[in-house]
Structure 1
Amino acid sequence: MDDYQYFGNDSTSVIEFLNFERSSETEILSKETENLIKELSELNKPIDEKLMRKVKDIMGKLMELNDRTLTHTNHVLVTLAIMIGEIFNTLKARLKYRNVKWEAFAKKHFPMLKSRTRQKYMLIARRKDSHNFKYLGIDRLYELCVASKNFPGEEKLEELFRSYQIEPRNFLNMSVQEVKEFADSILFHRKLKKSSIDAKFDLILDLKKMNGKLDRKLIKDLKKFQVSGGCPDQYLRFLLQNNGKPPTDLEEDKRKRFRKINSELARLINVFSEIKDNRSELEIIDANILETLAKELKEIMDSRKSLGNLP
């Protein structure tokens, strides 16, 4: 299986860069951009629908070129990382027979590379199954290798995708961006599992597709939400409904309000005690309000009992 099997076939896929003359295309786009900027700078020219179509057209071309260039760069960088990793793996194997400690040797002879970087290169080089996915970039590919290390067979990375009902051969019909979204969502879902956070993968993928941030802060927020009695899936749905923005602590605000209600109810008990101590003033109290209050309290108590054995 060659390196280009999973590169897709749309305008943002890796296949495109094989026939991509960056210099000529960049030159053409540079001239188009220059002309557009001149046009936008004309104070007397209205920014109408026709002009905005032109802006969006050139922006689309620039972003497409950016994506293809980034994909090409990732492929080259991973290829170089594999070469370096293979050299290191071979050296390490040789030094083992001479009882030379690899880490000390590497620090002395290759100080330009941090230990973590060497580890990434060496693992990716060893994992031949990852070489079909060079376009994903070094860091993402390394994380995928770590995440899939316990899967059976030689194609561990493919098995990782399949464990999420994602068939790698379908990547042929996907853009690089779509494959990255799957990869990032899988990695984040596994991080949540390590933090004992149970969340649906589909919700994570939907959030990633809308450019939501899958980062440490989200893990922290989900953990906090879960510990306080909330459901992680509910929090993710909040984000999806709010364009990826945190739900302004809706659930936490609700809990704070209910804690405040406890103190208000305690004050109400004191009011009732005062009323009982002043029976002569009972005629002032509105009977309808008392009846409504009694009815509401009964409904709250019945609802609370239905929740089970609460303290």
Structure 2
Amino acid sequence: MRRTLVPAGAASWWRRRPGAEEEAVGGLEARPKAPHARVPVPPEAKAPPLTYVESQMMSWWRDPIVKDGSTGKVAFGYMWGPVGIVDAEGRVGGEVPKPGSRWGTPSDPARPEPSVRRTPYSIAGLVHLLALAAAVTGTALTWESQPLGVSLATGLAAALAVFGLGLVVSSFLGRTGFGTIFQVVVTAALLAGAVALPEKITTEWTRQTWTPAAVSAVEPRYDLGAGVGTLDLSRLSVPEGTTVTTAVDVGAGKLEVVVPENVVVKLHALVGLGDVQLPGEAADDIDVSPDRDETRTLNPPAGTEPAGTLDLSLEVGLGQVEVTRAAS
């Protein structure tokens, strides 16, 4: 197959080669060739004119390398660093920048200098001071006449109002930063906590002790706003088959109840946030948790002469309830 294709290709090329037609017609005159159209040649490409020249502050990594391998101060087109201005004829028109300057002389001498934006002065310190003064004033004015939660909420609401006014003023005059926003968030959280406090918690911390000596002297209810309340029933003699009912309500603090040794105690203790400690538990066994609700029946120790029953309803909003038995 190869032997057939090679001669065929050679014969085809021989017939199509230039001048084959003239050789085929023999002595006939060669036909005049049609003139070729002249295609315009584009101008020779030239490098763009240099617009920057090298300054006096050169470094090894910016020095261009010439053909002989050395570095020299030649014109180049860096777009950063201090530069001068080159006109169309290659002459330097701008001043050589001083050492330490960042940019060269602008091309337009009439161009105005860029304006510098002045940062407004901070009013955050003044806002914080006024908010603190408002909180102290609002709390002091209501401390004697209102519960603790209402008094604190009044002062915190006044401080929050000052913070809000300060933020509004800072949008027109002065400025405030992240610290002011953080103080607003903290104040709002404290305000929510103050509103959640029970109204029975007063601003006065007191110590109160109730010691009824007889069953008839036991009041149906004892109240204490804030402090330490002690209900001492150790001297109470409750006959068998008799039930004595009473309740104690403390807003915040500690409630201590001492019961006789030989009585049966039906206890219902409710603590909003705190601990309940019953007879037989270790003194250091304190478990603080929210919404403590304990309902127990505490029987007298074995071998004790039985007596009557005490029905106790104890409630503390924030603090501890402690029930102990009197020693024989």
TM over 0.5: no
- Higher relative contact order (Cα pairs below 8 Å, separated by 6+ residues): 1
TM-score range, shorter-chain basis?
under 0.3
Alignment TM-score, normalising by the size of structure 2 = 0.22
Task: Choose between structure 1 and 2: higher helix proportion.
Answer: 1
